[in-house]
Amino acid sequence: MGGLERAINVWVDADRLAAYQLPITAVRDAVERQNANIPGGMSLRSARATLRTMGRLTDARAFNDLVITTRNGSPIRVRDIGWAEDGTKEQRSLARLNGQPNVTVEVIRQSGANTVAVIEGVKKQLHALEAQLRPT
């Protein structure tokens, strides 16, 4: 609890959207369509190979170049009606320790699991996570 998940936010200027006579759903659909992470496949004689095409954009600036639609041969891009920026998902939980923002982890042992083994496993994982944390 208390952590913020990364999200890329696309901000739309309602006046620009109206000027292009575009519904907001066109923006949503374009982002979904052009940022898909879908499997692909091909057949080679009797063998079959499956490919996974990674279409996920990781840089917020790349979203600005996504084409929403085309009018008279000219593309209308996200940057024409707004902008994309790195951000976080809406915060749904809050954790504090001594008044400071904090992240808490709750561990619940499954029925039948060895309590000592669970504790030791959690300790190992926490040591691995420490390397990823910022110094306070």
Q: Is there a domain that residue 60 lies in?
A: yes
Q: How many domains does the chain have?
A: 1
pTM above 0.85, yes or no: no
Q: How far is it, in rounded angstroms, from Cα 26 to Cα 32? A: 10
Q: Is there a domain that residue 136 lies in?
A: no
Q: How far is it, in rounded angstroms, from Cα 6 to Cα 89? A: 6
Q: Can you give the pLDDT of all 136 residues of the chain as single tens digits?
A: 766 778 888 889 999 999 999 999 999 888 888 776 555 555 455 544 444 444 577 788 888 999 999 999 999 999 999 998 888 888 778 888 898 888 788 888 889 999 999 999 988 888 888 777 766 5
Q: Where in the sequence is the domain holding 27, given as residue range(s)?
A: 6-130
Which domain CATH number covers 125?
Answer: 3.30.2090.10
* 3-class secondary structure, 37: strand
Q: Is there a domain that residue 10 lies in?
A: yes
Q: Is there a domain that residue 1 lies in?
A: no
Q: Is there a domain that residue 135 lies in?
A: no
